[in-house]
Amino acid sequence: MRCLVTAGPTWEPIDGARRITNFSTGTLGGRLANYLAAEGHEVTLLLGQTAIWNSPVAAVEVAPFSTTASLSALLEARATNTSIAIFHAAAVSDFCVAGAFVKNPEGTLEPVRSGKHSTRAGNLWLELQPTPKIISHLRDWFPNGRIVGWKYEVDCGRPGILAAGASQLMQTRVDHCVLNGPAYGPGFGLLTANLPLEHLRPEQLLPRLAKVAVI
């Protein structure tokens, strides 16, 4: 089976020297890609350039991405009507920098336009705007794919992450949603539309997801 896995963080530039990103290491998605390849699947791994994990096996084709737009372009370029399994485990930045500002003596914010914002100007104000939701486009790009999304939450608790995962299934038309993070607690949850929640121990996750690839 053809499998496409995304892993690791995207980043968004503040200026020509600085960026905002997240804590993703790319380990889970990278290990999944290796596992799928060991099971005999044809695997492409889209891996964040700043991911700490970087141990793909030889059978895995690796393509790097940087920003959210970069990852989106790589996915859209691989759009297909044929059967494929998509595992969207990448931690896509929720925000990008729309503008940078400094405050003048009158208290008004003035835009800063420079290749590297100087610290001598004092405090810097950043305007953050939401990035486009890549997962919302996956069904359009891969209409006959088996698509697995991820939902990582910190402080909404188990009921909150279950509701968020159910919303992802409905709104983005993915087939499965993996739940994890402090809000879920130890292990992983696997949500599938109209089926009960599956709770998976860490060692159960990769074998279970590999079964998803069998279409």
Task: Give per-residue pLDDT as tens, 55-69.
Answer: 999 999 999 999 999
> pLDDT tens-digit profile of 98-150?
999 999 888 899 999 889 998 887 899 999 999 999 999 999 999 999 999 99
**Sign of the C-alpha dihedral, residues 205, 140, 39, 70?**
negative
Rounded CA-CA distance 97/120 in Å is 21
Q: What pLDDT does 119 receive?
A: 87
pLDDT of residue 12: 97
Whether pLDDT at 71 is above 90: yes
Assess whether pLDDT exceeds 80 at residue 215.
Answer: no
User: How far lies 64's CA from each of 34, 99, 177, in Å?
Assistant: 16, 26, 24
133, two tokens: 């939701």
Phi, psi (deg, nearest 5) at residue 96: -125, 165
